[in-house]
Amino acid sequence: MDRNAVAWVAALVVLGLTTGCQRAPAAKAATPESPDVVVAVVEQRTVPIVRDFTARTEAVPTVEIRARVSGVLEQVLFKEGSEAKQGQLLFVLQKDEYKAGLESARAQLAKAHADLTRARDASVVDRYKATLDQRHADLGKARQDVARYLPLAEAKAIPQQDLDSSVAAEKVAAAGVEAAAAALRDAELAQRTQVQLAEAAVETAKASIIQAELNLSYTSIHAPITGIIGKLAVDVGNLVGKAEPTLLTTMSAVDPIYVDFNVAEVDYLRLAPRIRLDPQGRAQNAPATLELFLADDKQFGHKGRVAFVDRAVDAKTGTIGVRAGFPNPDKLLRPGQFGRVRGVVEEKTNAILVPQLAVQDQQGAKIVLVIEEGDKVALRSVTLGERIGDFYIATAGVKAGERVIVEGVQRVRPGMQVKPVTKVAAKADS
């Protein structure tokens, strides 16, 4: 029995050694090869810094069309929602009252001209001048009588009474001259006053004609601008403009259409050197580089340019208002639409671009796996700036020309040797 037991133990040992020798080559064959990974080359080039801004379309100008005189609305000569050209006839109000007012004003002007002609008639003044001349002649005769009677009275050749009578007649003649001169002055003053009143009446009548012509012209309401006409606010047959200018409709110019949006102060500081502004804050010859994305996230077919920058930064929001103009020949855009304006605020020169796929989060830090000499993996901590499409701008951690892993990150670890396959990097979105 003991010999049998020893034989069984020896057999098991031999079997174990044989199995071990057979498994050793298999274990050696199972040693893993270097894994394949896809890498991208870190690039260095100038890239645009792009921003999206929430925007709203505005029609400039937008005009409220109102009835400026009272009257019954007789005709509406347009279709709601249609485009009207500047000067096109839109509404007609009742005209009879204003035609009569114009004729009355013209009659008042004719009467004022007649009164002016009569006021300028110098016949009354001429009569007073003749009377004054007569009084001067009487005074001259009286003075001659006094001069002739004085030596005769001194020589006792005539009675003293004759001299006294001639002196009295001289005084009466002198008083007559003063009275005639005063009457002439009164007549001249009265004529000047009548002429001035008549001239004023003529000017008043002319002004009445102008006002009457304006009132008559206001009964025909024309389009003040070229644009889209809105909904009709008053139907034909209604009295309009009685107490206040009645709103009839509203029209807006939509080509070009303007888009208002707010820009953060830091982005405005970047954008400002790219815009030339006049003293009123309006852009001069700005290039058409802005893109507009509508509510369906589709890009509008025309690019726009900055047209206006607001006066000041809003202290509450830290933003400044900007207005851009976009061509709108198909009238697709209408006032009040929301969208996004996309524009380049800065050109970043010599930027180090790291693919987004290469960047990982590790305990709050950003890392990338870099292929170093000998195709070995190294872990790098990177500092990232702006995101440009599928890339980040790296400000520290990697250099241009280095290779970073973008696919197969889960299969490798730092220090491992890999087989890199280079991926052609796509261009950063502009």
How is 117-156 classified by DSSP, letter by letter?
Answer: HHHT--HHHHHHHHHHHHHHHHHHHHHHHHHHHHHHHHTT
Residue 190 has pLDDT above 80, yes or no: yes
**pLDDT, tens digit (0-9, with 9 covering 90-100), for 390-416:** 899 998 989 998 999 888 888 888 888
Structure-token pair, residue 402: 């280095």
pLDDT digits (tens, 9 = 90+) for 337-346: 999 999 888 8
Q: Is a pLDDT exceeding 70 seen at residue 362?
A: yes
pLDDT digits (tens, 9 = 90+) for 58-110: 999 999 999 999 999 999 999 999 999 999 999 999 999 999 999 999 999 99
Per-residue confidence (pLDDT) for residue 317, from 0 to 100? 92
Partner residues linked to 403 by β-bridges:
41, 371
Classified by CATH at the fold level, domain 36-47+349-423 comes out as 2.40.420
Question: Is domain 51-60+254-347 annotated with CATH 1.20.1600.10?
Answer: no
What confidence category does residue 308 fall into, taking pLDDT thresholds of 50, 70 and 90?
A: confident
CA 242, distance to chain mean position in Å, is 33
Burial class (CB in 10 A: 0-12, 13-18, 19+), 249: buried
Strand order in the sheet with 89-93: 220-222, 89-93, 71-76, 239-240
Whether the predicted pLDDT of 15 surpasses 50? no
In the chain, what are the domain boundaries? Answer: 36-47+349-423, 51-60+254-347, 62-94+219-252, 98-216
CATH architecture for the domain at 62-94+219-252 = Beta Barrel (2.40)
Q: Write down the pLDDT at residue 63.
A: 95
How far apart are the C-alpha atoms of 174 and 218, rounded to whole Å?
Answer: 66
How far is residue 252's CA from residue 334's CA, in Å, rounded to a whole number?
A: 9
Rounded to 5 degrees, what angle do the CA atoms 356, 361, 365 make? 110
Confidence of residue 299 (pLDDT cuts 50, 70, 90): very high
State the pLDDT at residue 50.
85
- Count the helices and strands in the chain (H runs, E runs): 5, 22
Task: Name the one residue in this structure whose structure tokens are 């249609």.
Answer: 82
* CA-CA-CA-CA dihedral for 193, 196, 202, 203, to nearest 10: -140
Distance CA(95)–CA(98), nearest Å, equals 5
Burial of 203 by CB count in 10 Å (0-12 exposed, 13-18 middle, 19+ buried)?
A: exposed
| Residue 380 identity | R
DSSP 207: H
